[in-house]
Amino acid sequence: MTARLRSSGWYDGRGRNAYIHRAWMRRGLPDDFAGRPQIAIANTASDLTPCNAHLTEVAQAVKNGVYEAGGIPLDLPVVSPGETQVRPTAMLWRNLAAMATEEMLRANPIDGVVLLGGCDKTIPALLMAAASVDIPAVVVPGGPMLTGHFQGEPLGCGTDVWRLSEEVRAGRLDPEEFRRSESAMIRSKGHCNTMGTASTMALMAEALGMTLPGLAGTPAPDARLLQASHETGRLIVDLVTQQRCPTGLLTKASFHNAIVTLAAVGGSTNAVVHLLAIAGRLGVELTLEDFDRIGAAVPLLVNLLPAGKFLMDDFYRAGGLLAVLREVKDLLDPNAVTVTGRPLVEYLDDAQIWDPTVIAPRIAPLQNNAGIAVLRGSLAPGGAIIKPAAASPHLLRHRGRAVVFSSIEDLHHRIDHPDLDIDESSVMVLRGCGPKGYPGMPEVANMPLPRKLLARGVRDMVRICDGRMSGTAYGTVVLHVTPESAAGGPLALVRDGDWIALDVASRTIELEASSVELGAREADVTTAAAYAGPHRGWERLYIDHVLQADTGADLDFLVGSTGSEVARESH
């Protein structure tokens, strides 16, 4: 027997309130609209989030499928933080987008939701929201853009901005040429085409079981994206009938599969903080150590920028995610179920690698043990992470003297000063960039190297920060240092010249100063001042309530789930 629709709580009955709810929604809909599944299309399309601007077209395809299956599709525009535009950093707005979406899903007569995201923070925010409301939900990732070319060479969106700008700073690229590359960087609709955060989170959504299997990674201009969107429209109506909700899908088993996937594809470090936040909404016990433990034995199979060579449309033509997962099927948890009701592992047998230069077979991986490493020690008692696949092998064990920057502005002000006391053995430290300190934990951990070292051919150094790193960036970067400096972490006590020892093999990051000496030091006042920052609005709320990176940087009062019940009527 079909379960009673949630929307019946608004529409059923002969009283005044049900009349109001129905009358205002009719607007040409058929008489029986109120008895059908009401499907929200949570759409992050926005001209100010260019990576998602095409999602309105995707929404139309979803709507066609919803109507076809007997549902009523309903546009639900939601907060859309565009990675390249919003200040001070899109991460500050992830939790706002998640909270606003959650509340609108709960407040409205909605039985199920299709989540349309793409640009970095949008899929995590939508999944956090759906998890906390726990109504049937399916993700349609908007897909990566096609590869642009400049002077005959492919451009990796994001990654090549960092690379070319460093070439300009090193004096090897004419600034005018750099400017000319701008028009070739974004070739088509869609999100960044490297294995950055957007691509990674789309793949995470599929690995978690929250998309149609085989959909994530479909390029935005590819007609198959619209076909899958149409099918997703049909599927969500079925999910409502079955009452298949996120809490039944997003289990420890599905997070296990997401972590295996993250390592195998060489995904963005940002996935760590996003997966922890999503798990926190569900009460799934996921820890930093799970990423290290589960990911440690997983081989790197995907040769994509920023760590490798190719781009997302190459990944898709080479077989896509299912081809990767077939290679590591034995490492996946067979109990994890997808939105279709079937386990993820059941979709792998027909998958095939069509280009082994893009997706390497298990017998010839690009790298063994590709997972994210979790470091602890006197500099990061709550943990820090590093992506060894994006680091320089010779720096994975390194001891050097600290060169400290108190803020990103301090770094920009002094990094190219000829008198800066720094060489390639130094350890660059940037603080004041954690969730509270910035606020919002920006992607600045991959600090630019000093111009004078770039000119000498130095291309990587050990860098340590309490902020995040763009998924499109690379280097020997220790990030998400917890506790952050603005929350009293030892990072605030580091001084120029202190010895710091990094040893990724033993998972340690140590500040070589005695506790007596550190106890006598005062925390950097610059970060303390930043912490006191805004006196009102979202930033104030965020600073007062944001948790540290090791648990996902959610707000303390948003962790967990409220469910979909709303006890009171509106009139």
Give Cα 391 distance to the centre of its chain. 20
Q: How far is the CB of 164 from ligand FES (least distance, A)?
A: 16
DSSP 371: S
Q: How far is the CB of 123 from ligand FES (least distance, A)?
A: 10
Selected binder of ligand FES within 8, 84, 188, 243 (CB under 6 A): 84
Nearest approach in angstroms of CB 210 to ligand FES is 19
- The answer to whether 453 contacts ligand FES (rule: CB under 6 A) is no
Task: Give the containing element (helix H, strand E) for 295.
Answer: helix 288-295
Whether the Cβ atoms of residue 305 and residue 194 lie closer than 8 Å to each other: yes
**Closest distance between ligand FES and the C-beta of residue 427, in Å?**
29
Nearer to ligand FES, 230 or 274 (CB): 274
443 binds ligand FES (CB under 6 A): no
Task: Output the six-digit token pair for 144.
Answer: 């990566």
Answer for the pair 49, 122: CB distance below 8 angstroms, yes or no: yes
Distance of CA 132 to the CA centre of its chain: 18
- Nearest distance in Å: CB 443, ligand FES: 10
Residues with Cβ < 8 Å from 188, sequence gap 6 or more?
A: 145, 146, 219, 220, 221
Contact 141, 62 (CB under 8 A): no
Three-state DSSP string of 91-135: HHHHHHHHHHHHHHHHHCCCCEEEEEECCCCHHHHHHHHHHHHCC
Shortest distance (Å) from residue 90 CB to ligand FES: 8
CB of 84 or CB of 108, closer to ligand FES = 84
Distance CA 172, CA 178 (A): 11
Computed on alpha carbons and rounded to an integer, the radius of gyration of the chain in Å comes to 24
- Give all strands of the β-sheet with 137-141 in edge-to-edge order: 72-77, 38-43, 112-117, 137-141
Choosing from 5, 40, 41, 51, the residue that interacts with ligand FES (CB under 6 A) is 51
Min dist CB 158 to ligand FES, Å, is 6
Terminal-residue alpha carbon distance, the chain:
32
Report the C-alpha gap between 84 and 116 in whole angstroms: 19
Size of the site for ligand FES (CB under 6 A): 10
The answer to the question of residue 508 lying near ligand FES (CB under 6 A) is no
The answer to whether 91 contacts ligand FES (rule: CB under 6 A) is: no
Q: Shortest distance, CB of residue 100 to ligand FES, whole angstroms?
A: 19
Of 158 and 217, which has the nearer Cβ to ligand FES? 158
Q: How far is the CB of 144 from ligand FES (least distance, A)?
A: 8
Using CB under 6 A as the binding rule, whether residue 196 contacts ligand FES is answered as yes
Please tell me whether residue 143 adopts helix, strand or coil conformation.
Answer: coil
* Comparison of 44 and 485: residue with beta carbon closer to ligand FES: 44
Name the residue nearer to ligand FES (CB basis): 198 or 465. Answer: 198
Rule CB under 6 A: say whether 191 interacts with ligand FES: yes
What's the Cα-to-Cα distance from 561 to each of 12, 57, 224, 487, 569, rounded to whole Å? 27, 31, 34, 26, 21
Whether residue 500 contacts residue 395, with contact meaning beta carbons closer than 8 Å, is answered with no
Query: Closest Cα partner for 260 from 317, 304, 216, 326?
Result: 326
Counting contacts by CB under 6 A, is residue 83 touching ligand FES? yes
Binding-site string for ligand FES from residue 367 to residue 406, where x marks contact by CB under 6 A and - marks none:
----------------------------------------
With the CA atoms of 8, 13, 16 and 21 taken in that order, what torsion angle do they form, in degrees rounded to the nearest 10?
A: 30
Footprint on residues 134-163 left by ligand FES (CB under 6 A): 158
Least distance from ligand FES to the Cβ atom of residue 76, Å: 21
- Amino acid at residue number 159: T
CB of 45 to ligand FES, least distance (A): 13
Q: Does 53 interact with ligand FES (rule: CB under 6 A)?
A: no
445 binds ligand FES (CB under 6 A): no
Side-chain half-sphere CA neighbours of 23 within 13 A: 8
> Using the rule CB under 6 A, is 484 a contact of ligand FES?
no
513 makes contact with ligand FES (CB under 6 A) = no
Cβ distance to ligand FES smaller for residue 137 or 145: 145
Chain residues 102-121 in contact with ligand FES, contact rule CB under 6 A: 119-120
- Applying CB under 6 A, which part among 16-24, 188-196, 406-414, 508-516 lies near ligand FES? 188-196
Q: Which residues bind ligand FES (CB under 6 A)?
A: 51, 83-84, 119-120, 158, 191-192, 196, 198
